[in-house]
Amino acid sequence: MKFPHDFLFGAASAAYQIEGAWNEDGKGITNWDAFSKIPGKTFEGTNGDVAIDHYHRYPEDIKLMAEMGLESYRFSISWARIIPDGDGAINEKGIQFYNNIIDECLKYGIVPFVTLYHWDLPQALEDKGGWINKDIVNAFARYAEICYKAFGDRVKHWITFNETVVFCTLGYLNGAHPPGYVNDAKKYFQATHHVFVAHARVIQIYKSLKQYGEIGITHVFNPAYGVDEKEENQQAAFHANNYQTFWYYDPILKGEYPTYVIDALREKELTPDWNEEELALLREMAGNNDFIGLNYYQPARVIKIDEPAESIAMDRDKSTGRPGNPSFDSYYRTVMMDDKVYTKWGWEISAEGFMQGLRMIKDRYGDVKLYITENGLGDEDPIIEGEIVDVPRIKYIEEHLRAVKLAIQEGINLKGYYAWSVIDLLSWLNGYKKQYGFIYVDHKNNLERRKKLSFHWYKHIIATRGEEL
């Protein structure tokens, strides 16, 4: 089988991880510009000041994407380039930059797929309470509307937020991302609620503008499985899925929060401060999402724990996706298992867990349209005689693309696949050591770009529409 003609083969990036030019052309300071400079917060103190300098090199980068045959490019807009302080004056040079990116994509027939929020928040808004302050919903709505009006004539695919569970967990429970709170479950749930309301608001605005494109949200897709068949571990998986998946997907797709979580939050006095107007908006907008984007890297293997777990203030190593952490409520722990295969960073490789999870999504949410908006292998790529022979990445993507094909054959409504990442970029907590791209960036040689083996492989997959998979 070839992939259907309307299926998009893509690859992705995010502004902070590639652009650099952190203080150029009127851009405001973001939470990450500030946070990454606090000693000890990132791997070897790396930050996105220069990143891979995509801000200046985008013509070369997009040309390479075109050479690879990429059909669609997912990238994010940095809010602080458009509105430096988040809710004040517009920076025309920021608008111009993204116009250039979009036009450059269209020049080669590459479909731009734009994320509005991939974690870099204007610091001025963070200073006012960030996602904890209800005012952020209005600020985000205004920012989104400015983007729709500036770019919506050419951008027909919008993602509101990237991975709310990650920026909220790491920002309010683990302290590993800005704003760096530790163990603050009250703030954590409050922030997630504001994100969902902001999402609903900007869906409403988008639909009212009648730009006739599509809009949705991207979530981490981290299906949980019990480590064995024991009832308590199956219950742990149920619990984890409710908190890590349904809490995030239900308000978007069903317009309400899962009762299992709501009941527990009420008991623990952790219910977010929400009002009837917000809840009504969630209900009203639930049917208006055009798709859900799934970022899949690994499943979660969970085990029930009984004893109160140690504080979940994690060291950086444990905040980067490696299993081993207790849940915030000390109900379960994620674990590594002897019979599973892991990346160098301890992320499980499981196309089968992916497939099973896709079935779970279909069971719960029906025929919702899906895109895989991220999937890929973080590795230290082998270089042999000057060639970047990233065979493990090819193998990883091949296995997952096979699962995508199988899912389509099973009737799951999957319309595109975006490898993470199109080019090597800055990992938020792992610096440049952990590579994901089809294009290599040589940090010892003036950030020179080079094609990896996977570049040629993906080009072939796209050209043959995955027929050989």
- Cβ-based nearer residue to ligand BG6, 142 or 434: 434
CB 304, min distance to ligand BG6, A: 26
Q: Which residue, 17 or 46, has its beta carbon nearer to ligand BG6?
A: 17
Question: Catalytic pick from 104, 163, 278, 398?
Answer: 163
Cα→Cα distances 148→153, 284, 372, Å: 8, 21, 23
DSSP 8-state secondary structure symbol assigned to residue 182 = B
Does residue 166 touch ligand BG6 according to CB under 6 A? yes
- The alpha carbon of 391 is separated from its chain's Cα centroid by a whole number of angstroms, namely 24
Structure-token pair, residue 417: 């696949």
374 touches ligand BG6 (CB under 6 A): yes
CB 374, min distance to ligand BG6, A: 6
x/- track of binding to ligand BG6 for residues 310-339 (CB under 6 A): ----------xx------------------
Can residue 295 be called a binding residue for ligand BG6 (CB under 6 A)?
yes
How many alpha carbons fall within 13 Å on the CB side of residue 370? 27
- DSSP states along 11-44: EE--HHHH---TTSTTPPPBHHHHHTTSTTSSGG
Tokens, residue 250: 């239900």
Paired with 439 in beta bridges are 423, 451
Count of CB atoms situated within 10 Å of the CB of 256: 13
- Residue 229 bears catalytic tag: no
Structure tokens belonging to residue 277: 């107007």
Q: Give the residue with the Cβ less far from ligand BG6, 331 or 371.
A: 371
Give 245-288 as a DSSP string.
IIHHHHHHHTSS--HHHHHHHHHHT------HHHHHHHHHHGGG
Nearest Cα neighbor of 248 from 177, 164, 333, 364 is 164
Count the site residues for ligand BG6 by CB under 6 A: 16
| Single-letter code of the amino acid located at 174 | N
- Residue 71 is among the residues annotated as catalytic for this protein: no
> Which CB atom, from 304 or from 393, has the smaller least distance to ligand BG6?
393
Q: Which of 36, 160, 162, 174 is the binder for ligand BG6 (CB under 6 A)? A: 162
Distance separating alpha carbons of residues 77 and 115, to the nearest angstrom: 6
Could you tell me the two tokens for 354?
């992916």
Of residues 327 and 373, the one with the C-beta less far from ligand BG6: 373
| Residue 426 contacts residue 46 (beta carbons within 8 Å) | yes
Tokens of residue 30, six digits: 């973001």
Choose one: 99-107, 134-142, 396-404, 425-433; the region binding ligand BG6 (CB under 6 A): 425-433
* Smallest distance from ligand BG6 to CB 396, Å: 13
Choose one: 20-28, 159-167, 234-242, 396-404; the region binding ligand BG6 (CB under 6 A): 159-167
Largest CA-CA distance found in the chain, in angstroms, rounded: 63
Does the footprint of ligand BG6 cover residue 47 (CB under 6 A)?
no
Residue showing tokens 């999504």: 361
Q: Is 427 in the site for ligand BG6 (CB under 6 A)?
A: yes
CA distance 161 to 197: 12
* Binding-residue pattern over the window 85 to 124 for ligand BG6, x denoting contact by CB under 6 A: ----------------------------------------
**Which residue of 142, 194, 304, 434 would you call a contact of ligand BG6, by CB under 6 A?**
434
Interface residue with ligand BG6, options 86, 171, 251, 378 (CB under 6 A): 378
Footprint of ligand BG6 (CB under 6 A): 14, 17, 162-163, 166, 295, 320-321, 374, 378, 420, 427-430, 434
- Residues designated catalytic: 163, 374
